[in-house]
Structure 1
Amino acid sequence: MENFVVSARKYRPATFRSVVGQQHVTTTLQNAISSQHLAQAFLFCGPRGVGKTTCARILAKTINCEFVEEHVRKGRTVSELIAAQPDIVPDALLAAPNPDAAPFELEACGKCSSCRAFQENASFNVHELDAASNNSVEDIRSLVEQVRYAPQQGRFKVYIIDEVHMLSNAAFNAFLKTLEEPPSYAIFILATTERHKIIPTILSRCQIFDFNRIRVDDIRGHLRHVATQEHIKAEDDALHLLAQKADGGLRDALSMFDQMVTFSGHDLTYKDVVQNLHILDYEYYFRLVDALLSENLSATLLLLDEIMQNGFDLHNFVVGAAEHLRGLLVCKDPVTVQLLEVSDNIRNRYVQQAQAASLSFLLSALNLVSLCDREFKQAKNQRLHVELTLMKLAYLNGAVQFARDLSAGPAASAANGEAKKKSSVTPPAPTAPAPSNGQPAANGTAEAPAAYGSSAVSARPAPVPAAPKQPVVVDSQLAHAPADPEPIVPIESGVEELHDTPSIEDEAATEVPTTSKLRDTVPHVEIGKPSIAGHEPGQMPVTAAPLPPRPGMPPMGKPLGLTSKLPGLGSLSAMKAQLAEQAAAGKAPVDTEPTGPVTGLPTIDDALLQRVWSELTEERKATSMSEFSVLNRSISADAQHVVRLRVDNPVQEDQFNEFRAAFLGELRRRTGYSRLNVQVEVVEQQSSGRKLYTSSDKLEYLKEKFPMLVEMQQRLGLDADF
């Protein structure tokens, strides 16, 4: 039985043209051979299976080819070589009608004695060394001894060192001199997958070529070529899946191709590849997204169970779901469809499903799946963690629509119904007992009209003596606060009712009028008086006008504690008019700060100012050390109530200006000086003239600044290490 040769060796490229996906490297090497600018050392870097060693062998074969020697170095034309030595001219040039004018890529002929010896692994000019097993200084010393001998046939001796990063540092250093100044006939080609492990002195002596990961389309094309040569019928989707699984390595793709051919014979299908390689099929994710878009949670959970029953890893499923959502996202725009590296049939399905999914759904779903991926390993119950994510995704469209309705306003959110019910149901205001003669009740509300139910009026208890009226001032946010809670009523089930249940019966109810408390929270820098004129302490508190009655509610009674003589604050224009009248009468509520020097100001109590300043500085220390460092310094105030704050640089001045308003207001309030102001001055530090150059100078300076350092040195017995 004939020995089987794997496809990675059988179809290994023998020319620069047949190298897959590394045109930037092959073109550079061909130009270097044609222009005779060949370096003495090359370093090929890149992932596994992308053609590093293959390109090194092709380069070694080409530079010793007799056709390259005669045509490039001796300058003989192709026509002359065809007439004199046709056995060393490549077949492509022999078939050309005008070989001298035809553009061609410089390749080895493959027919001369040097090329035949290389193809039969009998060439004495090419030496390959495995650095993984020959990584000592002795191995490099033996290599250097071989370099001394010139080649017996051909022009160059080529040394290919594979996995060069495995050499020890001593071996690298022993190789430096020979690598930098080798004989004219010696060329070194180093290949590695881990460039970062090579010392910089080696890197600086080599021309570095970075090999890229091979594109999926290039690998699929090469697999199609191999399948054609082997007379294997293969589906395009199956070859594309193999190319994706290879992750940029052609050798891995060819190895999986041989495995699939062994499994399925000469008819390779997509289903066989999915089954044999144990890959999560695209079909799972298309079904998943269809179930999520239709909000079918049951189908989503059953699909997850099916995936687990088939033996797939949950984390791989989450990662694949994120990749699928990313594919749908790039298919939303025809310009970015090319970013999706799948076959044409799968790409059409992506485009079709992307049209059915909204952009907001895809973005939100991708965010949720990415969060699930990050938190997967920390979850104790990983299946439940994934199921919770799928539950959120199943109702994601409804959540997005609900958020849009809320942001659009109450009119749009009314369609949801549920939010409208919860926001509109309010407990009815409790009704207090009222006398039957129509007099105001104890709470200040009038008796409800008979039109709203006479039975409710007749059922009321006897009148209760009214308490003395007090002006009621209530915050506007607490306008609808219920009255004192009723006593807890035990229920048969043993559960106590802690609050009233809204009733749907037609009951006459009254509401507590809406009042607001006017509080002066802004610090006033002029005279420290409240900012609303006519409402200084000692006057009657003012309440806001009652709100208009709600539709369908009984008219409210008379507001508590309000008199018709008080000015109303219903609108801004009324306030402006009131302020204008008081200003015209000579009673201006706000004093303006004069622009020039002011006379008659009270003398500042420096002790009070210093104490308040220290208190504010300490308060800033707990929240911001930068503000504390700006304020923690000596201050002084002049007769114009200007506090001078001296800082070290303009940066501290900018920091103080950031919190100047709040700080100044609090300083005025606590000191009682309404015209206090802070003026910041940048004081340039004068150089002391002492320069610290040596370590002993620095140590002496630190001892002067920190005396504890001297004691620590003595107690621990430390010596100054200069």
Structure 2
Amino acid sequence: MSYQVFARKYRPKTFDDVLGQDHVVRTLRNAIAQKRLAHAYLFVGPRGTGKTSTARILAKALNCTGGPKADFDPDEDVCIEIAEGRSLDVLEIDGASNNGVEQVRDLRESVRFAPARGQFKIFYIDEVHMLSNAAFNALLKTLEEPPPHVKFIFATTEANKILPTILSRCQRFDLRPIPTETIAAHLLHIAKEEGIALDETAAWAIAKGADGGMRDAQSMLDQLVSFCGDSINEANVLDVFGFTSREKVASLTQTLLARDNPAALSLIQKEAESGRELSQLLGELIGCLRALLVAKLDPSADGEGIPTHLWTELLAAANDYAPDRILAAIDVFAETEGRMKWATNKRLHFELGVIKAIQSLGEVRITDVIKILTKGADFIPTGPISTPAAVPSPASVPTPAAVPAPAVTEQKPAPTPAPTPVPILEPEPEPLPVAKESPPEPTPEPAPAKPRPAGGLSAFDSMIDAAPEVSELPPAPEPPPWKSDKPAVAEVKAPEQPVINAAIEDAFYNDPLIQAALVKFEGKVLS
């Protein structure tokens, strides 16, 4: 028998052999046990996750002897025929090469015939999204109401390209990427069966590079056996596939957290010169930062396969940064990854991303200022504030030569009449500058009456005639309507004017401020 690669030799044969798809296996097992079998199934998932293997296992469970049953014997002849693709009742069709309307018409013709040996006639179409719209439309009626003995199984990696009318007629199962731990454990199992000495670190490196695809991991292991022989270590994996070791990823992360630009750029230069794939290194770096971010939010999280001593050092270095800082660095590297995908000079964009990430880790944000102010507010005493020593008030300081001012009773000022020139009979002291009044002007002689124009007296001329010949004191103004009707003339008397002026003058000179100014400048009052 010719040599078989690991991907074919260790293909799952039963439901128990399917790894990482427990939700799909459980649903199919229960459907078979409860006899709730649908007429069409659709398996969706990335490459190497078990779509074709699961479809063949389902076909074995339906057409096995005494079936349908979930626990069948994979070594019976019916199951072997299905596994090798030579069963007359299980037809495997490649959707990429049979995507026309003519092929769908042939399929519709073969649907009429009963199965040759098993209970069902099963049509498995791989990469069904490659069918044309016309082929999909030609398949609609048969897919919706097939004969009782017909089952359809579809598989695709791009479900978005399938018509919604096809999707609504199928039971959809989404196969997930297989976890790295599961792939590494299965690789160690294969190595043990083949008599190969495979290090655990090497198995982890292969599983990490496979990115959730079991078939990719098995193909890589097959290639390593051809390169290394019966002994495989992590260095062999890194040399063959250009991967970066976890130690290098942890070292690069350490330089980022230390904000050491020269060390980070030097490490990138060494990795580029040794032929490492920088895009893969960037993906590993993002994964390490993500693990640190998750550890910040969930202390029970693990280190994503990073050795324990390295993970402990990274956690200690990340204690100085808040989760938002690490998140900002991840955003910078995510943008860098998008640019590196189409760039010719990947190293340049990687180095720029490292510099920007270090700057984002060290920049001061408004949240930092708020935290500092909040911490400073904690030191403000919350108890009663002690009263400071009493300070003497200005009123208690004795002023030199302070003379008490006479008490003046405050009264609401009455409406002051217009200033009236009063003849001064006695010599009075010189008035204040602000209160100085000009001497009364002499009363002019009455001007002779002007001739009136002929035509009668006007209103203005009547007022002139009614005016007195000698000037008299004008009457006091009328009080407001809310005041008493008592005439204001009785409140103001001419003889009392000198008394009021003298009181105001005494109050001015006896003011403490004026007295203090006289003492300061050694002045005196002249009468």
The TM tier, using the shorter chain, reads: 0.5 to 0.7
Q: Which residue of 2 aligns with 1:355?
A: 316
Consecutive unaligned residues in structure 1, runs of 5 or more: 73-105, 413-583, 588-722
Instruction: For 2:23, give the aligned amino acid.
Output: H
Q: Which residue of 2 aligns with 1:140?
A: 104
How high is the TM-score relative to the length of structure 1?
Answer: 0.47
* 1:173 is aligned to 2:176: no
Please give the alpha-carbon distance, in whole angstroms, between the structure 2 residues aligned to 1:585 and 1:346. 95
Indicate the RMSD between aligned Cα atoms, in angstroms: 3.6
Matches within 5 A, 1:422-433: none
Please give the alpha-carbon distance, in whole angstroms, between the structure 1 residues aligned to 2:243 and 2:175. 28
- 1:341 corresponds, among 304, 319, 322, to 304
Instruction: For 1:374, give the aligned amino acid.
Output: E
Give the 3 Å change call, closer, same or farther, for CA 107–361 of structure 1 in structure 2: same
Contact 1:61 1:118 in 2 (8 A): yes
Q: What SS does structure 2 have at the residue aligned with 1:159?
A: strand
Give the 3 Å change call, closer, same or farther, for CA 396–172 of structure 1 in structure 2: closer
- 1:212 corresponds, among 176, 181, 186, to 176
Give the 3 Å change call, closer, same or farther, for CA 156–392 of structure 1 in structure 2: closer
Instruction: For 2:270, give the aligned amino acid.
Output: E
State the shift of 1:366 in Å: 5.3
State the shift of 1:237 in Å: 1.6
Give the 3 Å change call, closer, same or farther, for CA 35–263 of structure 1 in structure 2: same
Q: Which residue of 2 aligns with 1:126?
A: 90
Contact 1:159 1:188 in 2 (8 A): yes
Contact 1:156 1:187 in 2 (8 A): yes
Instruction: For 1:134, give the aligned amino acid.
Output: N
Q: Which residue of 2 aligns with 1:55?
A: 54
Give the 3 Å change call, closer, same or farther, for CA 297–166 of structure 1 in structure 2: closer
* 1:273 is aligned to 2:272: no
State the shift of 1:308 in Å: 2.8
Query: Deviation digits for residues 392-426 of structure 1, max 9, x if unmatched?
Result: 7778888769x9799858xx9xxxxxxxxxxxxxx
State the shift of 1:301 in Å: 3.7
Q: Which residue of 2 aligns with 1:41?
A: 40
Contact 1:328 1:351 in 2 (8 A): no
Instruction: For 1:200, give the aligned amino acid.
Output: P
Consecutive unaligned residues in structure 2, runs of 5 or more: 377-409, 414-527
Contact 2:14 2:74 in 1 (8 A): no
Q: Which residue of 2 aligns with 1:323?
A: 287
Matches within 5 A, 1:435-446: none
Instruction: For 2:51, give the aligned amino acid.
Output: K
Matches within 5 A, 1:252-651: 252-291=216-255, 297-312=261-276, 317-332=281-296, 335-338=299-302, 340-342=303-305, 346-360=307-321, 363-364=324-325, 367-368=328-329, 370-371=331-332, 374=335, 377=339
Please give the alpha-carbon distance, in whole angstroms, between the structure 2 residues aligned to 1:385 and 1:129. 44
Q: What SS does structure 2 have at the residue aligned with 1:331?
A: helix
Please give the alpha-carbon distance, in whole angstroms, between the structure 2 residues aligned to 1:393 and 1:205. 49
State the shift of 1:49 in Å: 1.1
Q: Which residue of 2 aligns with 1:150?
A: 114
Please give the alpha-carbon distance, in whole angstroms, between the structure 1 residues aligned to 2:411 and 2:166. 94
Query: Deviation digits for residues 539-589 of structure 1, max 9, x if unmatched?
Result: xxxxxxxxxxxxxxxxxxxxxxxxxxxxxxxxxxxxxxxxxxxxx9999xx
Contact 1:361 1:397 in 2 (8 A): no
Contact 2:191 2:198 in 1 (8 A): yes
Please give the alpha-carbon distance, in whole angstroms, between the structure 2 residues aligned to 1:388 and 1:142. 58
State the shift of 1:380 in Å: 12
How high is the TM-score relative to the length of structure 2?
Answer: 0.63
Contact 1:329 1:359 in 2 (8 A): no
**Larger of the two Rg values belongs to structure:** 2
Q: Which residue of 2 aligns with 1:5?
A: 4
Instruction: For 1:60, give the aligned amino acid.
Output: A
Q: What SS does structure 2 have at the residue aligned with 1:123?
A: coil
Contact 1:216 1:341 in 2 (8 A): no
Higher relative contact order (CA 8 A, sep 6+): 2
Please give the alpha-carbon distance, in whole angstroms, between the structure 2 residues aligned to 1:274 and 1:586. 103
Give the 3 Å change call, closer, same or farther, for CA 314–233 of structure 1 in structure 2: closer
Q: Which residue of 2 aligns with 1:249?
A: 213
Give the 3 Å change call, closer, same or farther, for CA 181–351 of structure 1 in structure 2: same
Q: How many residues align?
A: 376
Query: Deviation digits for residues 322-371 of structure 1, max 9, x if unmatched?
Result: 33333333334663423x432xx624421332113324277536524633
* 1:67 is aligned to 2:30: no
Q: Which residue of 2 aligns with 1:183?
A: 147
Contact 2:198 2:232 in 1 (8 A): yes
Contact 1:131 1:162 in 2 (8 A): yes
Please give the alpha-carbon distance, in whole angstroms, between the structure 2 residues aligned to 1:250 and 1:315. 21
State the shift of 1:39 in Å: 1.2
Give the 3 Å change call, closer, same or farther, for CA 298–156 of structure 1 in structure 2: closer
Contact 2:328 2:360 in 1 (8 A): no
Give the 3 Å change call, closer, same or farther, for CA 264–205 of structure 1 in structure 2: same
Q: What SS does structure 1 have at the residue aligned with 2:314?
A: helix
Please give the alpha-carbon distance, in whole angstroms, between the structure 2 residues aligned to 1:170 and 1:323. 44
Give the 3 Å change call, closer, same or farther, for CA 263–158 of structure 1 in structure 2: same
Q: What SS does structure 1 have at the residue aligned with 2:166?
A: helix
Please give the alpha-carbon distance, in whole angstroms, between the structure 2 residues aligned to 1:315 and 1:112. 47
State the shift of 1:24 in Å: 1.2
Q: What percentage of aligned pairs have identical amino acids?
A: 41
State the shift of 1:58 in Å: 0.9
Give the 3 Å change call, closer, same or farther, for CA 52–368 of structure 1 in structure 2: closer
Q: What SS does structure 2 have at the residue aligned with 1:189?
A: strand
Give the 3 Å change call, closer, same or farther, for CA 174–267 of structure 1 in structure 2: same
Q: Which residue of 2 aligns with 1:107?
A: 71
Query: Deviation digits for residues 8-52 of structure 1, max 9, x if unmatched?
Result: 100001101101111111121122122221111111111111111
Contact 2:45 2:51 in 1 (8 A): yes
Contact 1:21 1:214 in 2 (8 A): yes
Give the 3 Å change call, closer, same or farther, for CA 359–281 of structure 1 in structure 2: same
Q: What SS does structure 1 have at the residue aligned with 2:153?
A: strand
Instruction: For 1:41, give the aligned amino acid.
Output: A
* 1:201 is aligned to 2:165: yes
Instruction: For 1:282, give the aligned amino acid.
Output: R
Please give the alpha-carbon distance, in whole angstroms, between the structure 2 residues aligned to 1:220 and 1:381. 33
State the shift of 1:273 in Å: 0.8
Q: What SS does structure 2 have at the residue aligned with 1:288?
A: helix
Please give the alpha-carbon distance, in whole angstroms, between the structure 2 residues aligned to 1:38 and 1:316. 43
State the shift of 1:128 in Å: 0.8
* 1:222 is aligned to 2:186: yes
State the shift of 1:194 in Å: 1.1
State the shift of 1:289 in Å: 4.2
Give the 3 Å change call, closer, same or farther, for CA 176–228 of structure 1 in structure 2: same
Give the 3 Å change call, closer, same or farther, for CA 273–157 of structure 1 in structure 2: same
Instruction: For 2:321, give the aligned amino acid.
Output: S
Give the 3 Å change call, closer, same or farther, for CA 388–124 of structure 1 in structure 2: closer
Contact 2:328 2:357 in 1 (8 A): no
Contact 2:286 2:333 in 1 (8 A): no
Contact 1:322 1:370 in 2 (8 A): no
Query: Deviation digits for residues 99-139 of structure 1, max 9, x if unmatched?
Result: xxxxxxx3212354423433454321111111110111110
Please give the alpha-carbon distance, in whole angstroms, between the structure 2 residues aligned to 1:232 and 1:316. 27
Please give the alpha-carbon distance, in whole angstroms, between the structure 1 residues aligned to 2:79 and 2:176. 28
Contact 2:225 2:232 in 1 (8 A): yes
